[in-house]
Amino acid sequence: MLRFRALGLLLSGVLLAISPVPGSAQTRGLESDAKALRIRQEITDSRFSPPAKEVMITTLGRGAFRLDTELDAEGAPGVSSIFRVDKDSFLILFHDTQQAAIQDREQLRVVAERRKALEKRLEERLAENPTSEDAAHARMLELRKKTARLEAEQHQEGKQVGRRFEKTSESGELLGYPWNKYRQVRDGLLVQELLVTPWADLGIGDEAALVFERLSRFAEDSLEIAGGVSRMENPYEPYLEIGGFPLVIRYFDPQGEPIMETRVVSIETVVGNGVFDNPGYPEEGIAEDLPELE
């Protein structure tokens, strides 16, 4: 159902909303003729044979962000995740069913409370019948919680030691945009390389930087709301460190071999009219009508 598709995107890290700053320019409504950047990215995952390929499109406007995924052969998206600062929420469009889901902080809290109630019920069933199927689910849940807590502690330690990315002396140009190389190293192992073009060179400057700043703030809040069981790191935090948009992101395995790459293949300026709006799909919140526990 719609709400479960939206919740799945939420848990995968796609749906993270942000909160506006009172009095900020980003809280104004969008101008219908405002310009936006349409950035097409190709993802290649070399862990598969042949390598798996995927395309996604990011559109950045003043106080707005859109991510199109699950593109078909003609390039039409299956799912669009839209954030607008002036609405303080994410709008998720499911184009195949022509439905929309809204995600905000309050609904995230409702989902988290329902999850906690489910965990409690599973623990009770485990005590009642240790060999039941529910008991197996409860043990798996506990293992995931322990793993997530460990990862959260490691992430916090990483934040305490300082910047997670270091700028190298390497630079170049891609698609006419200058880039600087950044590296992420953990425990002496190369994790990521990013070829980053500054916001100013993209022509959207502080507007985009502030959108990602708010995204990062909300991501931290959402991890806290999740109660320490989320295995995600804040996906927007790096943007605060690198000061631009990554034209290329390379991921490496423990042996230092590249395993996945996300590469920008085109950037175009478009008119933002309608890009960040609901085309008319009926809307519901992701927390609406969640099933009651038995």
CATH number at residue 67: 2.50.20.10
Number of structural domains found in the chain: 1
Supply the pLDDT for residue 8: 47
Note whether residue 291 is domain-resident: no
- Predicted pLDDT at 241: 85
Structure tokens at 135: 């008991």
Does 294 reside within a domain? no
Which amino acid is located at 107 in the chain? Answer: Q
Per-residue pLDDT, 13 = 41
Residue numbers in the chain where pLDDT is lower than 70: 1-33, 130-163, 222, 225-233, 272, 286-294
In a domain, 271, yes or no: yes
Q: What is the pLDDT of residue 56?
A: 94
Q: Residue 290 falls within a domain, yes or no?
A: no
pLDDT at 150: 63
Phi-psi region of 187 (alpha: psi -120 to 50; beta: other; left: phi over 0): left
Residue 214: name the closest of 87, 92, 31, 109 by CA.
Answer: 87
Note the pLDDT of residue 86: 81
Alpha-carbon distances of 13 from 57, 78, 138, 219, 257, rounded to whole Å: 16, 17, 23, 9, 25
Question: What token pair was written down for 255?
Answer: 């042996």
Residue 247: inside a domain: yes
Asked if 125 and 138 touch (Cβ cutoff 8 Å), the reply is yes
Host domain of residue 35? 2-285
Q: Which residues fall within 8 angstroms of residue 173, CB to CB, at 6 or more apart?
A: 179
* pLDDT tens-place string over residues 42-96: 999 999 999 999 999 999 988 888 999 988 888 889 999 988 878 777 889 999 9
In whole angstroms, what is the distance from residue 208 CA to residue 64 CA? 8
| pLDDT score for 16 | 35
Specify the pLDDT at position 196.
Answer: 96
Q: What is the pLDDT of residue 167?
A: 94
- The predicted pLDDT at position 233 comes to 66
Residue 293 lies in a domain: no
What does the pLDDT read at residue 29?
44
Q: pTM for this one? A: 0.74
- Sequence length of the chain is 294
How far from 32 is each of 88, 125, 232, 273, 274, CA to CA, in Å? 18, 54, 35, 5, 7
The residues pairing with 174 across neighbouring beta strands, listed in sequence order, are 177
